């Protein structure tokens, strides 16, 4: 059973997003970005309450801006999803979770050392240039469910 329900178009959209956000960080970096997308869909808390589909997560607007830089700047739309990214997207939708993105709901590239918190949420780890943050204990149980 997959972690969340999805369609083929969800896989393609997520694959494009993973490529746009983390292609330079290789397959593992793209998997981690995909995991954050799935975590946001599952969380149903904090900034991510009420998100029921992958497109809702990817096109979410917070504070007047899209949540993901690749959507904000439009580069998620520049390239089609390739088969390799589609396979990676399916992995995260079906089962893949790994530290530091295992429970993460946020990531960013600070172009500097990772700060210990991001919007008051604790640092869970770093992979290449991206810093990952998971919700504080007892604030978002949905992020910690399968």
CATH number at residue 104: 1.10.10.2520
Over residues 114-139, the pLDDT tens digits come to: 999 999 999 999 999 999 999 998 99
Mean pLDDT (the chain) is 95
The whole-number pLDDT of residue 145 equals 83
Looking at the domain assignment, is residue 92 inside a domain?
A: yes
Per-residue pLDDT, 75: 84
Evaluate the CA torsion angle 125, 49, 77, 38 in order and state its sign: positive
Kindly tell me if the per-residue pLDDT of 146 is higher than 80.
no
Give the residue from 43, 146, 31, 142 showing the smallest Cα distance to 92. Answer: 31
Taking each helix axis as running N to C, give the angle between helix 83-94 and helix 26-43, from 0 to 180 degrees, rounded to the nearest 10: 40
Question: Structure pTM?
Answer: 0.96
Whether residue 3 lies inside any domain: the answer is: no
In a domain, 102, yes or no: yes
Structure tokens at 88: 């990676």
Domain boundaries, position 118: 8-144
43 inside domain? yes
Residue-wise pLDDT tens digits, 34-92? 999 999 999 999 999 999 999 999 999 999 999 999 999 988 888 888 999 999 999 99
Tell whether 72 is covered by a domain.
Answer: yes
Residue 62 in domain? yes
Q: Is residue 135 included in any domain, yes or no?
A: yes
Q: State how many domains the chain has.
A: 1
Residue 94 in tokens: 């079906």
Separation between Cα atoms, residue 1 and residue 7, nearest integer Å:
14
- Please report whether residue 1 resides in a domain: no
Tokens of 82: 């390739």
Interval 4-25: pLDDT, tens: 999 999 999 999 999 999 999 9
Both tokens assigned to 33: 């970005």
Name residues whose C-beta falls within 8 Å of residue 73's C-beta, 6 or more positions apart in sequence: none
């Amino acid at each position: 059973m997959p972690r969340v329900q999805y369609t083929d178009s969800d896989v393609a959209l997520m694959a494009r997003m993973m490529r746009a956000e983390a292609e330079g960080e290789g397959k593992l970096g793209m998997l981690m970005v995909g995991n954050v997308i799935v975590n946001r869909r599952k969380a149903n808390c904090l900034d991510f309450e009420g998100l029921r589909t992958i497109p809702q997560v990817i096109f979410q607007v917070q504070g007047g801006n899209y949540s993901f830089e690749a959507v904000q700047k439009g580069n998620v739309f520049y390239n089609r999803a390739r088969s390799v990214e589609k396979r990676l997207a399916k992995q995260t939708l079906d089962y893949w979770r790994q530290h530091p993105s295992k429970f993460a709901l946020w990531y960013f590239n600070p172009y500097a050392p990772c700060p210990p918190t991001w919007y008051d949420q604790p640092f869970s780890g770093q992979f290449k240039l991206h810093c990952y943050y998971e919700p504080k204990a007892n604030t978002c149980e949905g992020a910690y469910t399968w």
